[in-house]
A and B are shown apart, each in its own frame.
Chain A
Amino acid sequence: MYRIKRIVESFFVLLAALSFCVFLLPSQATVANAAGIETTNDTLAIIPAKDGTRTLDSSNGVDVHAQLLDGDSFVIKNNEVTLVNASGTNVAKITVTLPVGKKVVFNSTTSTLRIVNSSSFGLMSANGCTNNKWAQWLVRVSGDLLVCTPAAIAATGVSAGVAEAFVAAGCAGGVEALVTWISC
């Protein structure tokens, strides 16, 4: 009887761990649904210039990925996006027609242009989300410490082991979903 109980308990603990891992997977899909740029062709624009050619690619149907040269940057003012090269010369200017409450932002890390909400509060990256790793880390720690830990301890009264593991895994998955929600 003791051995059967132990096997059942091990099975549920393993199941809880697996269910937690599944929560980690869908972050890419959520990010992919978050933007609003519509394109029809894989290559949105090819920008020839004296110093080289840049391309704007929208093959993923979500963001516009810019293949730029070293030192290039985008200057965004209202609905005008200007591509500036390393010496400060304007290479191209794109005028974007945007719905009310939207604006274009350029993520230099991923080299992508994206249309986002223009409302903002101090800490966020002005597009209703953040990619700041420490902000995400803080949300994870707060969730785990203030929500998951007491919830798991509360579950101890019901059935230590199985229930605790399930509650902890489910709660950690919820915290992960919260982090995905605020991520760009």
Chain B
Amino acid sequence: MIHDIVTMNKNPVSHSTMTGHQLSLLLTAILGMNLIIMSIKEFDIVMFVASVAVIIVFFLIFEFALYRMNVSQEQHKKKTGWKFLIFAVVCAVILVVAVAWIYVL
């Protein structure tokens, strides 16, 4: 499975010239940057280690997602990602409401 992911993500992702590994790294960097900046700003080694652990999880999730996408592409199945989008919107609403309720209201 891991070998499959590593091999498959060497191919360019659909609509893009970037490979799966490059895209995973880019997205991980974008999402992980604020965590690393915060831990450096706070000068907290525990937070830094926890942030790195979370960033590794981000990377693995993106690697797996892009692998699945490449597999679907090879099988000529079209993935639209609506389920992910709906999940993200629902989570966003829950997160904002929860944070507002706990910290602001």
A119 CA to B103 CA, complexed, in Å: 10
Contact yes or no, B88 A147, CB < 8 A: yes
Decide yes or no whether B1 CB sits under 8 A from chain A: no
Contact yes or no, B18 A9, CB < 8 A: yes
Chain B interface main SS type: helix
Closest chain B residue to A23, Cβ basis: B34
Distance between A70 CB and nearest chain B CB, rounded to angstroms:
23
**Provided the pairs A16-B30, A165-B30 are in contact, do residues A124 and B16 lie with their beta carbons within 8 angstroms?**
no
Distance between A143 CB and nearest chain B CB, rounded to angstroms:
6
Decide yes or no whether A159 CB sits under 8 A from chain B: yes
Decide yes or no whether B80 CB sits under 8 A from chain A: yes
The residues of A with any CB-CB pair to B shorter than 8 Å are 2, 5-6, 9, 13, 16-17, 20, 24, 119, 121, 123-124, 128-130, 133-137, 139-162, 164-165, 168-169, 171-172, 174-176, 178, 181-182
Between A and B, 15 residue pairs with Cβ closer than 8 Å are A6-B17, A119-B105, A129-B103, A137-B50, A139-B95, A146-B92, A148-B88, A150-B91, A151-B85, A154-B85, A156-B65, A156-B69, A160-B23, A160-B66, A178-B95
